[in-house]
Amino acid sequence: MTSSQGESAQGQGALREQPVGLVGLGLIGGSLGLDLQAAGLEVRALVHRASTAERARERQLAMRIDTDPAVLEGCGLIVLALPLDRLLDPPAELLAALPPDAVITDVGSVKQPVLERWEPLHPRFVASHPMAGTAEAGVEAGLTGLFAGRPWVATPSSTTDPAALALVQELAAVVQAQWLCCEAAAHDRAVALISHMPVLVSAALLEAADQGGRAAGAEALVRQLASSGFADTSRIGGGNPELGTLMARCNRSSVLDALEEYQQQLKLLQTLVEESNWEALRSRLKHCHTLRPSFLNN
């Protein structure tokens, strides 16, 4: 099932009744903090290090920022803006600090294992994933407007509290994201194809250009000639290595399926070139030319 940003949610306005808590102030958490404050909401944040808290206060990423989990007391919605490994192995002190009546959501890019881990831990957990980002990370990465027009996907189960789901939908509406709902397994298969596998493909492109240039004795030249096309196709492969590894590790089966599909397509193109079948290659590229807008004009 899907629903758009413009549809009304049950409990509209409930988000403003209590503070919103953020656990983590990296790219996603910091950007949420800026947007929610701009919308007039009270925002509190829990961070791991005192140095992070100090810099986050300087950047005004939240109204109250602390390393003490008690900062989350009284929050009606808490967003776990944590890396996947910490999300799947949450510290006991964090679990103890989560109010039982608060709605808890996450921003992880893999949903099935997160849903399985967190549903037994908290009665009002909603698995979600804002599909927005940049190549930056850490407390300096947060910026305003990151989520505007981008998908915010929720993957509720049959036991997800409808009022909790509505509150997360309201959060997505406040930051002007496009609300979607789907099953967790379907989400993970889809993001493997359009997000996780492309990271590895982009990394392979960088390695091929580096090693191929070295083998051809043109190591410096391939770098000098690299322009916007290479920059676009290699960007995500040169991104955060920890994030790329976690996505592959936590979504392993779907990523392997996506890589197999990509290798089949690459082999087909290789065969057309080997056979000098230029008309078939042109037809294939023409199809891709018409196909691409359907992935970008959502």
Q: What is the pLDDT of residue 104?
A: 98
What is the pTM (predicted TM-score) of this model? 0.89
Q: For the chain, which domains are there?
A: 14-182 (3.40.50.720), 187-296 (1.10.3660.10)
Residue 85 confidence class, pLDDT cut points 50, 70, 90:
very high
Q: What is the pLDDT of residue 13?
A: 80
Lowest mean pLDDT among 132-136, 246-250, 275-279: 132-136
Residue 4 confidence class, pLDDT cut points 50, 70, 90:
very low
Q: What is the pLDDT of residue 99?
A: 95
Phi, psi of 89 (to 5 degrees): -135, 65
The CA distance from 275 to 190, in Å, is: 33
Is pLDDT of 220 > 50? Answer: yes
